[in-house]
Structure 1
Amino acid sequence: MITRDIAAFTAFAGSLAADFGPATARAAFLVSPDGFMRAEQSAQDNRYMADAGAFDTGAALREHHALHRALAQDVPVVCFPGDEATPDAVFPNNVFATARVDGEARLIVGRMRHEVRQREAGRRDIRGFFRDTLGYAEVDLSGQPHPCELTGALVIDRARGIGFCGLSERCDEAGAARMHEAFGLRATLMFDLAPGEYHTNVLLAVLAGRAVLVHAGGLQTPGLLPALEVLYPGGVVDLNGLEQAAFAGNAIALASGKVWMSRRAHDALRPATVEALAASGFAVHSVALTAIEAGGGSLRCCVAEVF
């Protein structure tokens, strides 16, 4: 099922067991912020991006190394080098993703909206690592015309095999359908993001199939919050505007009892938010990413999951 009908999606998704696959990734990969700078094309529709003077490549490299070390507490983490020709490559989850579909391990390559990011999809080292070293089949969406920026636009509950896809200039309905098929999902709900929002994953995070961080104000879909409360009873944590602006929605669980976000996001959390996460079995862990966040994304955007 792929639909805009929230009631139909909720009824179907609510009937599914959490037996689609592991709720969290078995590994992750990063791309180093070498040559990290403001990409003017990306800035056209990313309101979170800072002015060029706020970019500090040296600081971003130090933060990224600390991020690598921190995440490696939970899963093996591989880091590929960056490239001055692809200044946004520090956010690889928009371009590369993995899935297991009917027993087949897949590397999925997305179609980016902006040319500066389309260059990332051509990386032979990342493609070769998954194809030749790990034996993953390649599903290449990068050459078709419909934008589909993978787990930036599409937030996935891997345990149930369901997706929440926010539509914007970074992903249209046809692109959503291509991702739904590539990930082999059981159900995908499509909805519009609020004006000025570019990716779902700065507004919504599904944590190990048990809890959800969401900022309802960024979703032009009033019925989505009640639907999430049906699907994740007692596990929906509604972020306020200040928490979301600090990138608290751009979070990830790589282990069943930990949620990772940036230090800025962690510091912005209200006590009630921390308590709600704890009630769902999650302790908050964080890494300082001030320099990297100048690029318009945060911790979740830096992490490409390996399933």
Structure 2
Amino acid sequence: MQHTSHLLMIQPVHFSFNAETAVNNSFQNKSDQSNVQEKARQEFEQFISILRAHDIDVTVVEDTPDPHTPDSIFPNNWISFHEDGSICLYPMFATNRRLERKPSVLNSIQEKFLIVHTNDFTSNEKNELFLEGTGSMVLDREKKIAYACLSPRTNTQVFNEFCNTMQYKGVSFVAVDAAGAPIYHTNVMMCVADDYVVICLDSIKDSNEQQLVKQSIINSGKIIVEIDFNQMNHFAGNMLQVHNTRGEKFLVMSSQAFHALTPKQIETITAFNKIIHSDITTIETNGGGSARCMMAEIFLPLK
């Protein structure tokens, strides 16, 4: 199945601007707020409340103050969970983000879900080769296609290693922002749902690569909802499709992303599923990630 009703989210205790990740995340900007952690916590709690009000199951794990992990609110970069009972651990670009791989998170998951195997790609860190989970890759889980825009955080060799291990077909390309800089994570320019794909095709400058991606989407039986650079900059590519305990489907995004969409785009998306959005402006500004980055989908079997 492409989407799940089970999500892992990490409650922040020391959320802040991370200088280590800002070197190649153009979406990240240090705000002048003096209460960034307090505001981020409020936004997080409100987001959780909205998801749970729609009967979506959220496993919340509170981060620990030590070691200090300012980006722990984005767990999908270091771990992914799969239907066969396997988990994948990923090599991270920023050294302080590697500390997010805390036993307390896995212990909480194992209380509810069955983990039968671990695929550990983290040894690539010693060679400075990175693949930051479902930030670096956007997975078509039903069709077993992994899309990846290559960047300092998304290495071809590790991407191929993932695809070979998990038996995915890899579709890699180069995507840039409006200024021509590499886009740091695929999931800010692309979202794969069960019947459609939201994507900023303009960010793929090579015509052959753009056609490759378009054809892969069409061949997978999905329609394309195209967004522009301005919408991408407002996180309109950073979305995640989920369903609830009754099987109702939703596309989850930030309020900033929602307000960046045109009425026609909203009409197209809501023909397939409802939209859920929440204001997470502080998190987006300081962290350079949005709603999708905050949710790690859990496809593991329930105990």
TM value normalised by structure 1: 0.85
| 1:284 CA drift (Å) | 2.0
1:64 matched to which residue of 2? 44
Amino acid across the alignment from 1:189? V
Aligned length: 279
Give, in whole Å, the separation in 1 of the partners of 2:60 and 2:18.
21
1:45 matched to which residue of 2? 24
2:174 matched to which residue of 1? 192
| 1:144 CA drift (Å) | 2.4
Alignment check: 8 A CA contact 1:212 1:232 kept:
no
| 1:224 CA drift (Å) | 3.9
Alignment check: 8 A CA contact 2:10 2:62 kept:
yes
Which sections of structure 1, spanning at least 5 residues, go unmatched? 1-21
Secondary structure at the aligned position of 2:25 is classed as coil
Give, in whole Å, the separation in 2 of the partners of 1:191 and 1:249.
16
Secondary structure at the aligned position of 1:155 is classed as strand
2:59 matched to which residue of 1? 78
Amino acid across the alignment from 1:213? V
2:203 matched to which residue of 1? 218
Q: Deviations over 1:208-241 (max 9, x none)?
A: x211000112234322453155235562100022
Alignment check: 8 A CA contact 2:91 2:124 kept:
yes
Give, in whole Å, the separation in 1 of the partners of 2:175 and 2:107.
34
| 1:26 CA drift (Å) | 3.7
Runs of 4+ in structure 1 off by over 6 angstroms are none
Give, in whole Å, the separation in 1 of the partners of 2:29 and 2:238.
17
Identity %: 23
Give, in whole Å, the separation in 2 of the partners of 1:185 and 1:147.
19
1:125 matched to which residue of 2? 104
Alignment check: 8 A CA contact 1:168 1:197 kept:
yes
TM value normalised by structure 2: 0.86
Alignment check: 8 A CA contact 1:28 1:305 kept:
yes
Give, in whole Å, the separation in 1 of the partners of 2:216 and 2:268.
15
Q: Pick closer, same or farther for the CA change 1:297–1:62 going to 2, 3 Å.
A: same
Amino acid across the alignment from 2:18? A
Alignment check: 8 A CA contact 1:211 1:232 kept:
no
Q: Deviations over 1:175-217 (max 9, x none)?
A: 10222244x233121212223310000000001x211000112
Which sections of structure 2, spanning at least 5 residues, go unmatched? none
1:236 aligns with 2:206: no
Secondary structure at the aligned position of 1:259 is classed as strand
Superposed, 1:158-173 pairs within 5 Å as 158-173=141-156
Superposed, 1:1-307 pairs within 5 Å as 22-54=1-33, 56-72=36-52, 73-84=54-65, 85-100=68-83, 104-121=84-101, 123-130=102-109, 134-136=113-115, 137-145=117-125, 146-182=129-165, 184-194=166-176, 195-207=181-193, 209-220=194-205, 221-231=209-219, 235-255=223-243, 257-279=249-271, 281-294=272-285, 295-307=287-299
Alignment check: 8 A CA contact 2:171 2:213 kept:
no
Alignment check: 8 A CA contact 2:187 2:238 kept:
yes
Alignment check: 8 A CA contact 2:149 2:183 kept:
no
